[in-house]
Structure 1
Amino acid sequence: MPSKAQQFHQAAFRNSFVEGLRGETKINLQPRQVPGFHYSPVQPTPVADPRLLAWSAELAAFLGLEQPPERGPAVDALAGNLIVDSMRPFAARYGGHQFGNWAGQLGDGRAMSLGELTAQDGTTWEIQLKGAGPTPYSRRADGRAVLRSSVREFLCSEAMHHLGVPTTRALSLVATGDTVVRDMFYNGNPQPEPGAIVARVAPTFVRFGNFQILAAHGETDNLRALADYVICHHFPDLGEPSAEVYLRWFAEVGRRTAVMVAQWMSVGFVHGVMNTDNMSILGLTIDYGPYGWLEPYEPDWTPNTTDFATHRYAFGQQPRVALWNLMQLAQALTPLVPDVQALRQGLDEYVTTLNTTRHQLMLRKLGLTEQATADDQALAATLLEALAAAAVDMTVFFRRLAHAAPALLAVDHNEETVFQEVLNAAAYPESNSAALLPWLRQYAQRLRQESAAPEAIRASMLAANPKYVLRNYLAQQAIEAAETGDLAPLNRLMEVLKTPFAEQPEHNELAAKRPEWAREKPGSATLSCSS
């Protein structure tokens, strides 16, 4: 039976990561190398005036938590000002490849985990504060986060969950009452900004980089201990850890990563910074920094200013980069398996799952059954080429296509008129929407081979093509309002994004294409890794 809901500071925390793995014995927050350990114990640095700004009611109910008042002991705990007896805060040690280059030790530089809570269904979920102060892994940073990046992380974590994309979650957004100095675009113009802390939630925050740092330092015992911990706690169905189970586990990580990336591609999400230290071992979207959604369909688009030189993490590169990242994880796991070539099976699992899942998701978006013709693979591939040539709004195009399906199936409709209505709705001034017309004619012919009723096809397409996504300009509007103390746009956006596939006609303006004023506006078009 579900337990009675309680305030956050009254919850009993478990600490399997701290108890099961090797950590330093004393708290020392000085930035330094931490060889030989999985984590370091830490203490959050108190803030001036913690105040609750936003709360995920659905996640809280799942965790058995009551919404706290704006100020009080629960919010103090969510800000790091109050540590209860059952919490054992820690910062994890990991390394990673950043933009393709080995960066050495990285670690939780502005995040610290408080412990784990047991949800209403008996599962355990780690609670992590992002922006709660320095840790040994902060290097030259202050361990803080600004309001703008915290709003973005809070909103996107929950928006992605409601889109059905595997993701970490966000429980709360708390203002600190302090200011944090940041150079938003690394252009020599640092400014004080309001600080904030997000409490984010996942079964674990272990990343590819947690294994990489151990392998890089030759810490094979620690490497095996971490793999065993992850398998026992998060992949128990695979059995007791062994060389064979390590291989099956790596293949499952590959499969989950493929599903995640396929979902990104299906909704037009661009992570923006797919470093190996930002890759979850559970196949969850993690670390929402300079992300964005495709607006004009441009496969080479990246929202991350740091990536403008190479576009390594552009939308169209994400499937390839995820495979490269899995290859780095495989390399880190080689000390655990006698036949390292067998790890290739996990990479093959990624490729197969990615291709199959992407095709299935595209068929759903197009209202086509999976028992379709052999030409459907080519139809889907041709669509991606046509979208790139046309540069229309991806979200609007698919949503309008869903609404147009019954008309395309009706014998008394002029299909060219229907096509033009879809394209006009999705086009930007720079779009070449006519490039989609040949594909639309092919699609209409294929759609007429479906046996389902037109309205059933329309309903299935609407359930696969969101009307509402967290466009950067919408997030920026919510941020600017929150910085003045107005939380209404943030709260409204949060509510709308809970049901992104519903029409919600009273919120139509939140489904609009990117306005021209947002094309070059900082925060509305491009972002940096600054937080």
Structure 2
Amino acid sequence: MRAEPQASPYQADTPIAALAPWLADPVRPADFPQAIVRFRNDRWDQSVGLGDLDEAGWIRHFARFDALPGNLPQPLALRYHGHQFRTYNPDLGDGRGFTFAQLRDGAGRLLDLGTKGSGLTPWSRTADGRLTLKGAVREVLATELLEALGVNTSKSFSVIETGEDLWRQDEPSPTRSAVLVRLSHGHIRIGTFQRLLYLEEREHMAELVDYCLAQFPGSVPPDDAPGRSEPAVRLMHQVVERLARLAAEWMVAGFVHGVLNTDNMNVSGESFDYGPWRWLPQWDPGFTAAYFDHQGLYAFGRQAEALHWNCAQLAVSLRLLTEAEPLIFALNRFGMLYQQALARQFVWRLGIESRGFDADAALIAVAERHMRETGIAPDLFFHRHRFGRSETGDGDWAAALAAYRPSGTDHPLWAETVPPSLVIAEVERIWAPIAAADDWSAFTTAIAQIRRLGAALGPPP
């Protein structure tokens, strides 16, 4: 969802209902003992016509999950499979979330309201279907900063504290609980297609392709692409383009998602499903976010490789509908699309005019070397050199940057010493007063600062 939010009347539309008999399981939300609104996205609630809900209505729909008018009568837990750290797992699905509603925004785009921490489903396995309050706070912070940095991401729409004590291995326990609602174009994963291949459900696969083409419209394949008129081939090209761009956006944001399994890959091209994410403290391609990623499979510098591999799994799935050659042609576009998106995003964040792909790629190489050699944090690097500014001692980097002209609009933020950042120490600083004294002031301040950064950067390329 790259467009800015615009006010719109409420417009329920539920095309997923036609797919639900084979795509999802109707479920009941948990009955929570408490409901305290902790976050309400006042930038995006108006975009789907829900900005006028009072607090009681907000709790009724986003903690009790009473159906929205004319919308899905019951939440749907989606079914999917997936490769988890390259090992195929057919025992997956929405284990602590569901799709609660579908709506149109002012531009006619279909948006889903999906949950995290909303209770048990048929796919919960041994888990409790809940979300910790800290996990919800982390997801709000991540999505807000990613949006500000021009990354195509789901939006954290609501967080409500639910009054249960949860036990977790990676947090001091017992810990507080919450239910989160996210707003995104959809929750159709590469793993959704993998499940249909596994079950050899060709007709359902064709229906799902048509659904994605209709609800997540994209560009047409290049003129020389074989099979370019086939729906499965068109979708393959679109997903390759979206995920190549997403990988580039993460890199320029200095963001490490942490768990890039195929069940975490949304074919709409949105970053979502946030777990052990991190922002880079310094430019390190080997930096990992997940403590359990022992081999560095999803390290910062391997994220493009991971998304390319995931696209290959989509190609394997779509072989149920078409020949291999046109799918491979689409897959082979990933590398160049990624490099082009990386160049566009990099010069945008620096606030300079592009000098063409070759020159911009060379600039990126010098910038990466400069960050590695100096140890400067990426957030500070982009802030300090906004509009092509350099300092004495910047050496080769200053010389490379001098060839570029500034672009974009000025903002008081760029005169300040440091930009907003969410390295792990800062996240813990924001969380500590919430845990100790139920003090949300640092969290509220952080959201305001992040949104100010987004306003200063302006629309992404």
By the TM > 0.5 criterion, same fold? yes
Partners of 1:103 and 1:235 in 2: CA distance: 29
Q: Contact 2:228–2:234 at 8 Å: present in 1 too? A: no
SS in 1 for 2:195: helix
Deviation of 1:360 after TM superposition, in Å, equals: 2.7
Is 1:479 the counterpart of 2:431 in the alignment? Answer: yes
The corresponding residue for 2:97 is: 111
Q: Kindly indicate whether the alpha-carbon contact (under 8 Å) linking 2:133 and 2:177 is maintained by their aligned counterparts in 1.
A: yes
SS in 2 for 1:93: strand
1:495 aligns to 2:428 (yes or no): no
Contact kept, 8 Å, 1:368 with 1:447, in 2: the verdict is no
Task: Evaluate the alpha carbon distance shift between residue 195 and residue 368 of structure 1 in structure 2; reply closer, same or farther with a 3 A threshold.
Answer: closer
Q: Deviations over 1:247-286 (max 9, x none)?
A: 1221111001111111111110110111111111011101
Tell me the equivalent position of 1:204: 186
Retained in 2: the 8 A contact 1:73–1:82? Answer: no
| Superposition pairs of residues 199-238 of structure 1, within 5 angstroms | 199-235=181-217
Give the Cα separation in 1 of the matches to 2:8 and 2:319. 46
Match of 2:301 in 1: 316
- Structure 2 residue matching 1:74: 3-state secondary structure: helix
Letter in 2 for 1:21: L
Provide the rounded CA distance (Å) in 2 between the counterparts of 1:366 and 1:113: 38
Residue 60 of structure 1 and its aligned partner are, at CA, apart by 0.6
Q: Does 2:32 correspond to 1:59? A: no
Shift in CA distance, 375/78, structure 1 to aligned 2, threshold 3 Å:
closer
8 Å Cα contact 2:219-2:238 kept in structure 1: no
Q: Hey, what does 1:155 align to over in structure 2?
A: 141
Q: Is the 8 A contact 1:55 1:67 kept in 2?
A: no
- Whether 1:441 aligns to 2:439 is no
Corresponding position: 1:288 with 2:286:
no
Counterparts of 1:360-399 in structure 2, within 5 Å, are 360-366=344-350, 368-371=352-355, 376-399=360-383
- 1:499 deviates by 2.0
Q: CA deviation at 1:22?
A: 4.3
Residue identity opposite 2:89 in structure 1? A
Report the AA paired with residue 479 of structure 1: W
Task: Determine the structure 1 residue equivalent to 2:320.
Answer: 335
Distance between the aligned counterparts of 2:67 and 2:356, measured in 1? 57
Call closer, same or farther: CA 1:155–1:469 in 2, change over 3 Å: same
C-alpha distance 402-223 of structure 1, shift in aligned 2 (>3 A): same
Match of 2:255 among 261, 266, 269: 269
* Structure 1 length-normalised TM: 0.76
CA–CA separation in structure 1 for the residues paired with 2:107 and 2:246 = 24
Q: CA deviation at 1:372?
A: 5.2
CA distance in 1, matches of 2:198, 2:114: 26
**CA 1:242–1:41 in 2, change beyond 3 Å: closer, same or farther?**
farther
Which amino acid letter does the alignment assign opposite residue 16 of structure 1? P
Residues of 2 paired with 1:281 and 1:367: CA distance? Answer: 30
- Secondary structure of the residue that 2:130 maps to in structure 1? coil
For residues 92-131 of structure 1, what are the structure 2 equivalents within 5 Å?
92-131=78-117
C-alpha distance in 2, partners of 1:471/1:183?
Answer: 22
Q: What amino acid does structure 1 have at the position aligned with 2:421? A: V
What is the aligned partner in structure 2 of residue 353 from structure 1?
A: 337
Specify whether residues 105 and 369 from structure 1 end up closer, same or farther in structure 2 by C-alpha distance, changes over 3 A only.
Answer: same
CA contact (8 A) 1:403 1:458 kept: no
2:29 alignment partner in structure 1: 44
Q: Give the superposition deviation at 1:82.
A: 3.1
Quick check: 2:366–2:396 contact (8 Å CA) kept in 1? no
Matched pairs, number: 441
Q: Distance in 1 between matches of 2:103 and 2:448?
A: 25
Displacement of 1:147 in angstroms is: 0.3
Compared CA separation, residues 346 and 116, structure 1 to 2 (3 A): same
Alignment of 1:61-76 (within 5 A): 61-66=46-51, 68-70=53-55, 72-76=56-60
Unaligned runs of 5+ in 2: 1-5, 222-226
Q: Larger Rg: 1 or 2?
A: 1
1:126 and 1:448 map into 2 onto residues whose CA distance is 45
C-alpha distance in 2 between matches for 1:266 and 1:336: 36
Cα distance between partner residues in 2 of 1:274 and 1:445: 37
With over 3 angstroms needed to count, the CA separation of the structure-2 counterparts of 1:364 and 1:498, relative to structure 1, is closer
1:271/1:290 contact within 8 Å kept: yes
Task: Provide the C-alpha distance between the structure 1 equivalents of 2:292 and 2:451, rounded to a whole number of angstroms.
Answer: 31
Cα distance 1:448–1:474, how it changes in 2: closer, same or farther (>3 A)?
Answer: closer
Amino acid at match of 2:16: F
Q: Report what 1:303 is aligned to.
A: 289
Unaligned runs of 5+ in 1: 6-10, 24-36, 409-417, 421-439, 505-531
Once the two structures are TM-superposed, the CA of residue 225 in structure 1 deviates from its matched residue by: 1.7
CA gap of 1:373–1:140, structure 2 versus 1, over 3 A, is: closer
Distance 2:7 2:296 in 1: 49
Q: Specify whether residues 4 and 120 from structure 1 end up closer, same or farther in structure 2 by C-alpha distance, changes over 3 A only.
A: closer
Q: Deviations over 1:86-109 (max 9, x none)?
A: 433100001111111112231111
- Find the aligned partners of 1:395 and 1:211 in 2 and give their Cα distance: 37
- Quick one: distance in 1 between partners of 2:219 and 2:384? 42
Q: Which letter maps to 2:159?
A: L
Aligned to 1:419: 392
Q: Counterpart of 2:381 in structure 1: which amino acid?
A: F
The alignment partner of 1:482 has SS state of helix
Q: Deviations over 1:186-222 (max 9, x none)?
A: xxxx722111011101121111110011112222222
| Larger deviation, residues 494-503 vs 201-210 | 494-503
Q: Quote the Cα distance in structure 1 between the aligned partners of 2:67 and 2:357.
A: 60
CA contact (8 A) 1:254 1:326 kept: yes
- Residue 182 of structure 2: SS of its match in structure 1? strand
Query: Of 171, 183, 190, which residue of structure 1 is paired with 2:169?
Result: 183
Structure 1 residue 328: Cα displacement? 0.9
Is 1:247–2:233 an aligned residue pair? Answer: yes
